Each structure stands twice: as C-alpha cells, then as structure tokens.
Chains A and B, each alone.
Chain A
Amino acid sequence: MTNDEKGTLNRRGFLGVSAGGAALPLVAGAVVASAPAQAQTAAAAPDARTSVNVTLTINGRNHRLAIDSRTSLLDTLRDHVGLTGTKKGCDHGQCGACTVLINGTPALSCMTFGVMAEGVEVTTVEGLAGPSGELHPMQQAFIDHDAFQCGYCTPGQILSAIGCVNEGHAETDAGIREYMSGNLCRCAAYPNIVAAVKQAKSDMRGA
C-alpha cells in the first residue's frame, strides 16, 4: 500500500483537522496533505470505516488525501485541503455559494463527493489570482462595482460569472441573470453583479 506516504510529515496537520476542524495550513509542494489510512490487506472485506485514498487536482496542484467516502467535495476543500474560500450555504444545491469550476465549468461542490473528484481539475476562488497576486479580471470587476455586501456568496458568484463569460452567456443582462440564477445573494447585489460581469467580459478578452 502507498497510503502511508508522507503520512508522518503531515500528521500534525491531519490531527489538527481531526481535532478541531481547523483549516490545514498550506504546505508548499505538490503533496500538501495526507493522512495515514488504516492498513488494508487484499483479503479484507470492504469496510466503510476505511478512509479512501484520492489524489485531487485543485488549482493546478495535486493533493493526496485520505477521506471518509461521505465527505462532500466542499468539505474536502474546506476541512482537508484548507481552502476555505469556497463557502457552505445551504449544502443542498440550492444557493450556489459552494460553486467551483470543474474542468472549467461551474459546478456545485456540495453536490458531489470528494472521492468522485479524482481525475478532474477543480478551481476554487483561491486559484484565480495570478502568480504575483494580481486579481482575475472578474475579481477586480466585483470590487470595482461593489458587487457584494456581506461577501459570503461572492466566491461562488465569481466562479459562476467566469463560466458565464467563457461560455458566451454574458451578451445580455437577461442572459447573465439566467445563467447565474443558481447563485443567490441575500444582500441582493444583483444589479452590481450584472455590471461587474459585463465589465469583466471585455477585460477577459485580453486575458
């Protein structure tokens, strides 16, 4: 079994997560988190208590993880990888706060399991800024247009908005509103969000 690789190195971080649900500090390098999974022999009957080993590609980096099969991709990102930019709103696919990009298109991280995300590219709001920290045109546009109030829905709004532009649905206000109807904003910043998407649409052409 290879599930003990780097286990010792990151045990402290893993225990921190286990004990308090605190964010795991990011460690530079490809492998940022790993947990010692229970040893499994070939003859052992499958047991749901055994963690599942997965390697997820998040923001261009591979993360080797051992997670309970029940862990949503959302909880995997927040509690096991330490990327808390993705927000949990309803946890039932109705509010869009947990939106991430999967292979470049917006998807709900609360409606899929972490173990199912192997082999796809996940992009979270943390993965949008450039190498020297310059904001993605959509992030900048949200700031320029004051397209939020409390900010809780904003990461999901921004990722949906990027999908909206990339897939060609930002030509009209109605098109933007329809495409982004799965992202609720209780502060009702909708007019500003539409304005931000329109600005970013032209900025993203050059990006």
Chain B
Amino acid sequence: MRPFLYERADSPERAVKAGGQFIAGGTTMTDLMKLDVMRPEKLVDINPLAKSRAGQIEVTDSGIRFGALVRMAQAEAHPAVRSSYPVIADSLKLAASQQIRTMASLAGNVLQRTRCEYFREVSWPCNKRVPGSGCSAIGGVNRQHAVLGISGDCIASYPGDFAQALIALDAIVETTGGPKGLRLIPFAELHRPPGNTPHIETVLEPGELITAIQVPAGPWTRRSRYLKIRDRDSYAFALSSAAVALDMDGDTVRQAKIALGGIASVPWRATEAEAALRGKRLDEASATAAAEAALAGAKPQEHNAFKVPLAKQTLIRALLETQRMEI
C-alpha cells in the first residue's frame, strides 16, 4: 500500500481544513487502497464526529435525519426506521455482512465505488480509474454491468442498496466545505452518470463533506419495501433490486416512488414507471406495464442481457408485494 499521512478530525470544520481523503468505516477505502485503486496521500479520520450530531438519528413528523457517521447496522435497527421507513431498513439489512454494516457509515455507503472488476484491477485500462485509458468492460466480461445510464466510456454499475431507498424517497444530502459552505443537494443529483467523465462520480467538490442525509416524511413511506435479487441468498451485491414506496387509495395508486438497483450506472429513479402507475389500479398488468416503461431505455451488453427481464420481474414482484403489505 502507498504511504499516507493520518490525521484525526473531531469537527466537520477541522475535517475540511485538514484537506485530505475522508475515511469513516473504511470498508471501501481500505479495500481499494490495498488494491492500489485509491491512492490518498492523506487520510482524515472523521470517526470522532460520530460523538456529535453526525452520529445521531433524529426523527420528527416532517421526516428523518441521519447523521453522516450513523452506521448501517445502527440505522437498520432503529425502531422508527423499521416501522415507518421499511424500505430503508430493508435496503440496509440486505446490503452487506453484519461486520461491514457495523462499521460502514451511511454517507460512506452512498459513496461506495463500483465493483467492476476492471476498475478494481489496476492492470486493466479503465476510464474511471485512469481517464482516457479506455473501458475494458465494453467487449469484456460484463455480466454484472449496467444497462441503464451508461455511456460509450463506462458501463460500470452502481453497487449500493441504501441509495435506491434514498433516491426513491426524495432524500436530501447536507454537506459542508464546498465552495459555498453549507449546501443541500437533492440525493437524485448527488451521483453523476458517467458520460465522457466517468472518473467524476458525484457533484461533491474536493474537500466537501457530507454531514447528514434527510429523508422527508410522506404518505408512502410506511408501505415500502426493498427487494434484492442476488447470485446467492445472502451477502452479495444486487443483480437487480427495486425500492418501492406506495401511497394507495384502495387498489388505486395515488403515487408510486420507485428506484432500481444493480442495473444502472448511478442510483436510478424509475420516473417512467412511476408515471405509468399514477392513478391506475395496481395489478399484474399495470405493474408489468410500469416495468416495461422502466426498462425501455435499457442497453444490454454481451453478458448482461438477462438483467433486463430480471429487473422487470424484480419490479413487478416488488410492486405487488408492497401493495399487499399490512400497515
């Protein structure tokens, strides 16, 4: 591993001033540093912030605020998250092994890097790792790669689960240390699709620190769930997943909030599917039509065409199971 300086920060201001790569749980960072994919010259340990508001979950009538340093396991176990925002609890519970969920911070989790094998192995050209070097996944082994939101320069998939719940529920990210000091970023705008700059993954400026994630309350949060389809039954990344939250009037959809995981370059809000369901009676036919709309723009590669029907079936099942939830 390349050498780095280590500094601990006990306030967001000091963390920003320290001017380095932030590290919290370390479950992505240590992995990628060992692989020589990430090469920080200085690590700024922000774990001491967990003793402040950044380590707390605040629940009010208007929503829930997760401090950036809240751990995945801590959020998943919170009674109000489980009862009023089950899609969040499910997405966290299914995300990783218990050890990783104990360590990983929520803000670090949403910023986790792709699992693309060509990104993780420095021998391969990769536009995300070395801009302009080429994409080895295009024409390579691309079974796990994305079919939505991709470009001619990068087809890596976003690997996370929690982010799908957040984007579906219109979450907002609080940051500090950006050019304008404090700012609020809609979660849907946090991640950047690859385009021709796949190495720039978010809109965060260098040194900008996420301090919290807000999730607004709404009539859809209780009737919500996260369905994840994987190669094995536990502790694996999603081949496809669906975060669904429904506001129902009997069998009629007032509003559906839908996000899809495992198949897109960034956390993916399925707005076409939401529009297809609004005001409709929810049944297998309308769920199928919504799934067709969600995947209409899919561009499969040689090895991942199976993800298109899989993602459709994942969404159909998630919609119908969410409809049947007892709340």
**B98 contacts which chain A residues (CB < 8 A)?**
106, 160, 163-164, 179-182
Cα A99 to Cα B34 with chains together (Å): 18
Which of chain A's residues have a CB closer than 8 A to the CB of B4? 48, 69-70
CB-defined contacts of A164 to chain B, threshold 8 Å: 98
How many B residues, CB 8 Å from partner? 26
- Contact among B26, B99, B234 with A113 in the assembled complex (CB-CB below 8 Å): B26
Q: Mark A15-55, 1 if CB is under 8 A from B, else 0.
A: 00000000000000000000000000000001111001000
| B103/A111 in contact, CB under 8 A | yes
Give the interface centre of B3, B6, B23 by most chain A CB atoms within 10 Å: B6
A46 adjacent to B73 (CB under 8 Å): no
A93 in contact with B31 (CB, 8 Å): yes
Choice from A72, A115, A177, A180 contacting B6 with Cβ under 8 Å: A115
The answer for the CA separation of A115 and B4 in the assembled complex, in Å, is: 12
Least Cβ–Cβ distance between A190 and chain B, in angstroms: 12
Complex CA distance for A96 and B5, rounded to whole angstroms: 28
Residue B248 lies at the interface, judged by CB distance under 8 Å to chain A: no
B234 and A93 form a contact (CB under 8 A): no
- Write out the residue numbers on chain A whose beta carbons fall within 8 Å of the beta carbon of B27: 93, 108, 111
B2-46: CB near A (< 8 Å → 1, else 0) gives 011110000000000000000101110011001000000101010
Residue of A nearest to B47 (CB): A116
A99–B30 Cα gap in the complex (Å)?
A: 15
B27 to chain A: closest residue by CB: A111
Q: Which residue of chain A lies nearest to B96 when distances are taken between CB atoms in the complex? A: A182
| A110 lies within 8 A of chain B by Cβ | yes
Contact A112 B30 (CB under 8 A): yes
Closest B residue, CB atoms, query A112 = B26
Do A52 and B97 form a contact, CB below 8 Å, given A93-B27, A111-B26, A181-B234?
no
Q: Tell me what chain A mostly uses at the interface: helix, strand, loop, or mixed.
A: mixed
C-beta contact mask, A101-129 vs B, less than 8 Å → 1, else 0? 01001111011110110000000000000
Contacts of B41 in A (CB 8 A): 48
| Number of A residues, CB within 8 Å of B | 35
Task: Please tell me if the beta carbons of B26 and A69 are within 8 angstroms of each other in the complex.
Answer: no
A91 near B96: Cβ-Cβ < 8 Å: no
B235 within 8 A of A: yes
Expressed in whole angstroms, the minimum distance between the Cβ of A114 and any Cβ of chain B is 10
Q: Is the interface of B mostly helix, strand, loop or mixed?
A: mixed
Smallest CB gap from A156: residue in B: B99
Residue A92 is within 8 A (CB to CB) of chain B in the complex: yes
B325 at the interface (CB under 8 A from A): no
Per-position binary interface string of chain A over residues 51-92, scored 1 when its CB falls under 8 Å from any chain B CB and 0 otherwise: 010000000000000001110100000000000000000011
Report A-chain residues with C-beta under 8 Å of the C-beta of B103: 102, 107-108, 111-112
Asked, given contacts A110-B30, A112-B30, A113-B30, whether A52 binds B99 with beta carbons under 8 Å apart, the answer is no
Q: Determine which of B5, B34, B100, B234 lies in contact with A69 in the assembled complex, contact meaning CB atoms within 8 Å.
A: B5
A68, A70, A106, A178: which contacts B99 (Cβ < 8 A)?
Answer: A106
- A111: chain B residues at CB < 8 Å are 25-27, 30-31, 100, 103
**Interface residue B285 (Cβ < 8 Å from any Cβ of A):** no
CB of B327 closer than 8 Å to a CB of A: no
Cβ of B102 within 8 Å of any chain A Cβ, yes or no, is yes
Max chain B C-beta neighbours (<10 A), residue from A72, A107, A115: A107
Q: Are A106 and B102 in contact (CB under 8 A)?
A: yes
A window 119-167: CB within 8 A of B: 160, 163-164
Residues of B within 8 A of A (CB): 1, 3-6, 23, 25-27, 30-31, 34, 41, 43, 45, 47, 73, 96-100, 102-103, 234-235
Instruction: Jot down 21 A-B pairs with beta carbons below 8 A, ordered by A.
Output: A47-B5, A48-B5, A52-B6, A69-B43, A70-B3, A93-B27, A93-B100, A102-B103, A105-B73, A106-B99, A111-B30, A112-B25, A112-B26, A112-B30, A113-B6, A116-B47, A163-B98, A164-B98, A181-B234, A182-B96, A182-B235
Task: Using A106-B102, A107-B102, A110-B30 as known contacts, list a sample of 18 further A-B pairs with CB atoms less than 8 Å apart, ordered by residue number in A.
Answer: A47-B5, A69-B5, A70-B1, A70-B4, A92-B31, A93-B27, A99-B99, A105-B73, A105-B102, A108-B99, A111-B30, A111-B100, A112-B25, A181-B235, A182-B97, A182-B98, A182-B99, A183-B97
6 A-B pairs with the lowest CB-CB distances in the bound complex, closest first: A182-B97, A48-B3, A181-B234, A181-B235, A69-B6, A70-B1
| Interface, chain A (partner B; CB < 8 A) | 46-49, 52, 68-70, 72, 91-93, 96, 99, 102, 105-108, 110-113, 115-116, 160, 163-164, 177-183
